[in-house]
Amino acid sequence: MRKRSIGFSASLIFIATLISRVSGFAREIVMAIFFATSSSTDAWLMASALPNLLFSTVNGAISVTLVPILTDGDASYSPRSVTRFLNEVFTLVVLVTLGLVAVGEVFAPAIVHLMAPGFVGHPGELTKTIDMTRIMLPTILFWGIAGLVVGALQERDEYFAPAMSPVAVNVVRIFTIILIGHYLMHNNIIGVAIGFTIAVAAQLVVTVPVLRRMGIHLRFRWHFSHPLLKRMIRMAGPFFLTSSVGSIGVIVDRILASELVVGSIAALNYAYVLVQIPVGLLVSSLAQPIYTRLSRYHSFHEDQTFRQLAMQGFRLVLAVIVPITIWFLVLNVPILRLLYQHGRFQGRSTDLTSGALFYFALGLPGFSLYFYLQRLFFATKDTRSPSRFSIITIIVNIIGDLILVRVMKVDGLALATGLAAWVNAILLAWKALKPRYNSNLHMGRTLLTLALAGLGMLGVSLASFHLLHLATMTGILPLFLALALTGIVSGAVYILLLLVFHYPDMGYIISRLTRGRVTLRR
């Protein structure tokens, strides 16, 4: 067993992920300033949909499935054999991703026609979307290699470099949006696509040297015979479906939004990026070190420790995400005005985005629990259950989109995605945690306590919203201070109520926070 505590690993990931999310959000603000909710932004987002779908499935399937496989490999095989396995994975990743790139380049026009039916009557947007799709497809190769490197590093308790690699992507993208898209190409969205491809390649500069310092040098190996490779392929197959749930939902949303008013796709994207920040920042910082340890506990048959850690993580995810959900629901317009409403992003863009943010926020607990719970399944190498639930989720999402878009337009697409996330989270929780047979989960007490604390916090947030006149307040500094005051006061009320109602683990967490370090009990 490695000596790093979960608290240390989670703190390390949090710091790196915080930098990553701040730089990522700065990237979105730069995009909003220069391109706002324009037809060009809609075209860019449609063009990025296919590369992002393939990125999320390829990169996620490799990095997540590699952790438990390598854990078993380190215990059962020699270091030389494990390196041979990694080289076989590397070779296979390069071959598969290059094949996907080639197919995408050839069929890009047909794919774009299918994915953006609303652009057919707008030749300029259609041509831009096809060109940008072709420019960005090579990123699939870089994402695939990055997934392999990140998985290998995380299995060896190296979390900082993987968490910092998105920072490299974001920083390069910010500079290329400004330099190439705005200045060199005079606000041409094609420059954003060129910069995106450069940025994705740049992340390997951060992670590959760290892997080499660990003594692992990736080389081509054409003999695909290692037993671990066969196990990984069997495990990765269902994960492709599981990890594509969110991406498929986003693509369906964009397909339907392409037939709505100009800027609808951009509004969905700005809202979705914002609501996913706490998932990527807080939940992932907690989930990744837990996932690594759960994989080890399962490999060493420490079932009781596995269940205790899994349930404690579940309760902590809920405790963290509930207040953020309430802030988004109550303060969505002031938040958008503070963060996005600059440059070309003005009142119309804010109005179009605020409804989508509200309905996406309703699904935030579902997004968070899904992110966490699916890792419980992969820690035990169970890929079939989340795959079956993913199929159900995709169906629910598509049916919801088709029904709600007719009556609620862009807001309906956001609501359908949020409801689908809840369906997926409930199915995963019922299967993974088995609350009927695990009384120490305290499911009823957990939900009741969160509901009471959440209601108290909701009341304080609404009162602050009206007393401080947040709906009409202007000026960046006054708005920032008012939002900060609302967050501090309502958050303090929430924590106090959790303590009063004896939320499980809350006293322990507070005691560890006062000592400057949080770890999860084993």
Q: What is the full per-residue pLDDT of the chain (522 aa) written as tens digits?
A: 344 555 555 566 667 777 888 898 899 999 999 999 888 999 999 998 877 766 666 776 777 778 788 888 887 888 889 889 999 999 999 998 999 899 999 999 998 988 888 887 788 889 999 999 999 999 989 988 998 998 888 888 787 888 788 899 999 999 999 999 988 888 889 999 999 999 999 999 989 999 999 888 899 998 888 999 988 887 776 666 666 666 777 788 888 998 999 999 999 999 999 999 898 888 887 777 777 778 777 777 777 788 778 888 888 899 999 999 999 999 999 999 999 998 889 889 999 999 999 999 999 999 999 889 988 887 887 777 887 888 898 899 999 999 999 999 999 999 999 999 999 999 998 888 775 545 566 677 888 999 999 999 999 999 999 999 998 888 899 999 999 999 999 999 999 999 998 887 676 555 544 444 444 444
Q: What is the pLDDT of residue 236?
A: 73
288 alpha carbon, distance to own chain's centre:
12
User: Nearest 5°: CA angle at 137, between 135 and 141?
Assistant: 125
pLDDT at 1: 38
What is the distance between the alpha carbons of residues 81 and 73, in angstroms, rounded to a whole number?
8
Q: What is the pLDDT of residue 411?
A: 96
DSSP category for residue 221: -
Query: Encoding tokens for residue 173?
Result: 């993208």
State pTM to two decimals: 0.80
Question: CB–CB of 137/193 below 8 Å?
Answer: no
**Which stretches of 356-411 are assigned E, i.e. beta strand?**
none
Closest by CA position to 287, among listed 265, 256, 320, 250: 320
- Give the length of the chain: 522
Q: Tell me, what amino acid is at 255?
A: I
Crossing angle for the helix pair 160-176 and 190-202, to the nearest 10 degrees: 150
Structure tokens at 209: 């040297």
Per-residue pLDDT at 480 = 95
The alpha-helical segments, DSSP class H, found in 409-501 are 410-433, 443-467, 476-500
Q: What pLDDT shows up at residue 507?
A: 60
pLDDT value for 54: 67
Give the distance from CA 405 to its chain's centroid. 24
Work out the burial of residue 514: count CB atoms within 10 Å of its CB; fewer than 13 is exposed, 13-18 middle, 19 or more buried.
Answer: exposed
Element (H, E) at 314: helix 303-339
What pLDDT does 508 receive?
52
Within 8 A by CB and 6+ apart from 275, the residues are 328, 357, 360, 361, 363, 364, 367
**How many C-alpha atoms does 41 have within 13 Å on its Cβ side?**
26
According to DSSP H, which parts of 39-136 are helical? 39-76, 79-115, 123-136
Measured CA to CA, the distance from residue 289 to residue 297 in angstroms comes to 12
> Which residues, including other chains, have CB under 8 Å from residue 188's CB and lie 6 or more apart?
181
Contact 291, 70 (CB under 8 A): no
3-class state of residue 38 by DSSP: coil
State residue 11's pLDDT score. 65
Instruction: Give the number of other Cβ atoms within 10 Å of residue 1's Cβ.
Output: 7
One-letter amino acid at 151 equals G
What are residue 69's phi and psi, to 5 degrees?
-65, -45
Distances (CA, A) of 59 to 64, 65, 197, 203, 357: 8, 10, 15, 13, 27
| Helix axes 410-433 and 303-339, enclosed angle (nearest 10) | 170
